[in-house]
Amino acid sequence: MTTRQPKLIIHGGASSLVDDKGGLQKVRTSLHSIVTEVYQLLIDGETAIDAVVKGCQLLENDPSFNAGTGSVLQSDGQIRMSASLMEGLTQTFSGVINVSRVKNPIDLAKYLQTESDRILSDLGAIELARELQIPIYNPLTEFRAREWIAEWKDDFQGKMGRLFAHTESSEARRGTIGVVALDSQGRIAAGTSTGGKGLERIGRVSDSVMPAGNYATADAGVSCTGIGEDIVNECFAARVVIRVGDGLSLPNAMQKSMAECHKRERDLGAIALDHSGVISWGKTSEILLAAYHNGSTIGDTLEWQTEELMGFC
């Protein structure tokens, strides 16, 4: 098999609101640090799926992002997280839905890659964590507790939790984390993890654990963020990847799909890469918190606020 130049792109959410500059710098520092660490794994010969898992773990462990530690609270004041993982060569999808009291939901998704039952919801995911002897962990942070209490005092007038913790804005945000990687053997993997949109009805299922929000084949991989219901309505990740498989270039597939979303007033963002190493991203939201390594340099999309719906390198 021909050796490829590894490529990597990660995201920490999407927003229709502009963060303050201090907030953006905090995000940039976090994302660039994670890109650096995960890309080194790819350079050292690790597989795309292992790199994706590591990237998701690091993003889940950062309390600034709405996944793992720092996840938003649902309407009943509980944290329920979801994560999925897809290996592109075998097209194997796995995930957990609304799991509680674990540190890294992506670890459960990784274990399920080799199981016959590959997607587990709440009780099943919790029982799996017990079987694997994963320690009980409380992902709640003071920021998220105060956020929920403030909403409770306001009779839950807000629609969802804030995307990025520590920002000064009190406006609603939406957040997910995701990683897409191409390894030196040409294999693609995608992973996505979220704490949900915050304040949602108990039992609501995120796009992050559906092919709508996380999908990969041998041709391309996509991870989405934004309003989950919009992403599901568009089946966005799978749509982009299938278009690449049908012969469109990744930038053209992203552009076409984003234009359709823009026309239907969807609110979302996505990161992607293809088997040739092209990295692409798109958004209908105002901000996409993404960073990438193109084989020579690290870049990001944090201040990309043009009228264009997508970009690539």
Catalytic residues: 176
Length of the chain, please?
313
Closest Cα to residue 249, out of 231, 272, 268, 267?
Answer: 272
Q: Both tokens of residue 255?
A: 């552009």
Closest Cα to residue 291, out of 3, 33, 31?
Answer: 31
- Residue 174 is given by DSSP the state B
Helix (H) or strand (E) holding 289: strand 287-293
DSSP one-letter string for 26-52: HHHHHHHHHHHHHHHHHHTT--HHHHH
- The bridge status of strand 310-312 relative to strand 279-283 is antiparallel
Report the distance separating Cα 87 and Cα 20, nearest Å.
36
Q: At what angle do helices 48-61 and 21-43 cross, to 10 degrees?
A: 150
Q: Both tokens of residue 185?
A: 């053997």
Using alpha carbons only, give the angle 202, 203, 209 rounded to the nearest 5 degrees. 130
Using an 8 Å Cβ cutoff, are 213 and 198 in contact?
no
Closest Cα to residue 301, out of 309, 293, 311, 33?
Answer: 311
Report the distance separating Cα 109 and Cα 125, nearest Å.
9
